[in-house]
Structure formats: structure tokens, C-alpha cells
Amino acid sequence: MRALVVDDSRFLRDYLCGLLTGWGVVCSSAENGEQGLRILADAGPFDVALIDWNMPVLGGLEMVRSLRSDRRWNGMKILMVTTESENGFIAAALAAGADEYLMKPFDEEGLVEKLQLVGLLTDGAK
């Protein structure tokens, strides 16, 4: 499996990629949505993109909309990973095309649960 982590926090990019690579996932990362779209164009396809909401240059919601408007990424799962916890944010992300929504702070178990919900991990597989 291949994952793209897009977050302006280096700590969070490193944390998520550390978890994912520990499970055998090949992980790439970007610090904003624009950089994430460039990586996808150059190195895609990926199985999943984990995208923060609040980022400079191109935010997460705009990135999700861009991905869902491009047929090349139809098969890629999108997981919003953000501090935005209000129902309006969750509804907007899902309406834009995100497959799941994970609120920060989260733990390894929470990430596993969301990846299982989108069909990328099976029970006990990590």
C-alpha cells in the first residue's frame, strides 16, 4: 500500500509516516495541498491520502475537491485528519469527497479504525 500524508506540521507528517511505514506502507509526505497535488502528479497513484484541513498555499478541503474532480484519483481513499471537530466541517469534508474523518489528537488505534473503515486494513493487520 502507498500513502500520501499532507500536513503543514512536520511532527504530524513524521508521526503518521512512522506509523504507516511500521505497518509496511510506503509513505510520502507534503507540507501543503499544492505540494501534495504535485507529488500525486509525479509519483501517483496512491492508495490513500491523509489530508489536514488547515494548511497554507492550498488547504485540505480545496485539495479534496481538486482530487475528486480528477478521474485519475477516483480509486484513492481520502482521510481528513484535522483539529476541526464541528459537524459543519465534517459534513463539508464528506460532501467534497473525503471517505473518512479523523480528529486530532488521535492515537494509533483511531488511525487503524479509520483505515479499516475505508477497506485499507483488515482486522489485526497492521
Q: Is 124 domain-assigned?
A: no
Which CATH number characterizes residue 22's domain? 3.40.50.2300
78-98 pLDDT per residue, tens: 999 999 889 999 999 999 999
Q: Is 110 domain-assigned?
A: yes
Q: Is 81 domain-assigned?
A: yes
30-75 pLDDT per residue, tens: 999 999 999 999 997 899 999 999 999 999 999 999 999 999 999 9
Using CB atoms within 10 Å of the CB of residue 41, give its burial: 0 to 12 exposed, 13 to 18 middle, 19+ buried. Answer: exposed
What is the pTM for the complete model shown?
A: 0.93
